[in-house]
């Protein structure tokens, strides 16, 4: 895993676990690796992993069961996608619109590209 410099590491680890759930590596009801296992795999401070897991728990993507550890919640995938969608609409779209304006790209051009893409 490559960390980038801008985002707090615990959030990058949060994203990393979400990606592994979206990819199907961890399915609903599956046990996720322990804080310790992921810490060793990534060579990261276990307290940082714990912080990421606490956020995953708060967002009800994973939950803990006594004796089992962390497992993936039922509708984890849907929750991740809806959170990512929200993030996309709130952060990436405004950035996208700003760039359209800067480069003088019209909505028609974008619509055109969009309709070409859907025909493929």
Contact 32, 71 (CB under 8 A): yes
Q: Tell the smallest beta-carbon distance from residue 12 to other proteins (Å).
A: 8
The residues that touch other proteins, with contacts defined as CB under 8 A, are: 3, 5-9, 11, 36, 39-48, 51
Q: Tell the smallest beta-carbon distance from residue 9 to other proteins (Å).
A: 5
Which CB sits closer to other proteins, 8 or 29?
8
Contacts of 14 (CB under 8 A, 6+ apart): 52, 55, 56
Contacts of 120 (CB under 8 A, 6+ apart): none
Q: Tell the smallest beta-carbon distance from residue 113 to other proteins (Å).
A: 28
């Amino acid at each position: 895993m490559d960390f980038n410099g801008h985002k707090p590491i615990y959030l990058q680890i949060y994203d990393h676990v979400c990606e592994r759930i979206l990819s199907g590596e961890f399915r609903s009801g599956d046990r996720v690796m322990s804080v310790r296992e992921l810490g060793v795999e990534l060579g990261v401070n276990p307290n940082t992993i714990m912080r990421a897991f606490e956020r995953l728990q708060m967002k009800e993507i994973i939950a803990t069961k006594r004796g089992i550890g962390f497992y993936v919640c039922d509708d984890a995938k849907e929750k991740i996608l809806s959170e990512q969608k929200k993030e996309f609409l709130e952060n990436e779209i405004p950035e996208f619109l700003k760039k359209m304006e800067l480069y003088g790209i019209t909505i028609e051009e974008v619509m055109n590209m969009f309709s070409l893409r859907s025909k493929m």
